[in-house]
Amino acid sequence: MEILNDISRNLIAGDDAKVAEQVAEAIRSEVPSAEILDDGLIAGMAVVGDRFRKHEMFLPEVLLSARAMAAGVALLKPLLIAEEVPSRGKVVLGSVQGDLHDIGKNLVGIMLEGAGFEVVDLGIDVPADKFVDTAVSEGASVIGVSSLLTTTMTQMKGVVDLVDERGLSGRVKVIVGGAPLSAEFARSIGAQGYAYDAASAVEKVMALMGEG
């Protein structure tokens, strides 16, 4: 669809104003929000990642694309979140210590809220004890940890281990996700769940809470 290609193109170019304008136009034209997200915004970001890896784009440009992505997601958020759903439980969410990537984590949060979960978002660069302390103080039964770097994914084990050390195993479950991860990696660090994308994160959290 032309409008979705335009959104991708402007996201790659880092033009947040144009991305916002075109996402708004797509919403007005009743393009489904999941299509705007997947085939417009996420598709554009995949190209950015590829070009960055090949050194065809550099960090300042990637940051502009990230800003454009955030502008588009902000407009989609109200559509992705159902209104007045009774709370299904609480999830503490954050990007693991050392990791500053938050776009995917934010999408997971939006989808969880959309499905009726209360999300306590701790942001980026979150140490293991902050995840666990917050789960206890907020009475959350799931901790969701995101990592986008092969150098930070190893920190995730610290969260799982701390849940065990504090005697919370069984009561607090850890779900992990992010581009470099796999179900096998999640199992290897003892996490109770792994999700490939934001939609499957919702399914996984529901399953962990005994609803799936």
How many residues touch ligand B1M under the rule CB under 6 A: the total is: 37
Tell whether residue 150 is a contact of ligand B1M (CB under 6 A). yes
CB of 85 to ligand B1M, least distance (A): 20
Please give the C-alpha separations between residue 3 and each of 18, 20, 36, 182, in angstroms, as whole numbers. 11, 12, 9, 33
Tell whether residue 104 is a contact of ligand B1M (CB under 6 A). yes
* Element at 209 (helix H, strand E): none
Cα torsion angle, 76, 52, 64, 153, sign: positive
Tell whether residue 101 is a contact of ligand B1M (CB under 6 A). yes
Tell whether residue 62 is a contact of ligand B1M (CB under 6 A). yes
Task: Figure out which of the listed residues 172, 189, 198, 208 binds ligand B1M, where binding follows CB under 6 A.
Answer: 198
CB of 42 to ligand B1M, least distance (A): 5
Choose one: 81-89, 96-104, 115-123, 155-163; the region binding ligand B1M (CB under 6 A).
Answer: 96-104
Please give the C-alpha separations between residue 54 and each of 42, 48, 59, 68, 101, in angstroms, as whole numbers. 19, 10, 12, 21, 19
Q: Which of residues 73-92 bind ligand B1M (CB under 6 A)?
A: none
Nearer to ligand B1M, 18 or 67 (CB): 67
Report the candidate in 109, 108, 111, 117 with the shortest Cα–Cα distance to residue 87.
Answer: 117
Please give the C-alpha separations between residue 40 and each of 19, 44, 85, 156, in angstroms, as whole numbers. 9, 6, 28, 30
Residue numbers at the binding site for ligand B1M (CB under 6 A): 42, 45-46, 48-49, 52-53, 59, 62-63, 66, 98-105, 107-108, 144-146, 148-150, 175-180, 195, 197-198, 201
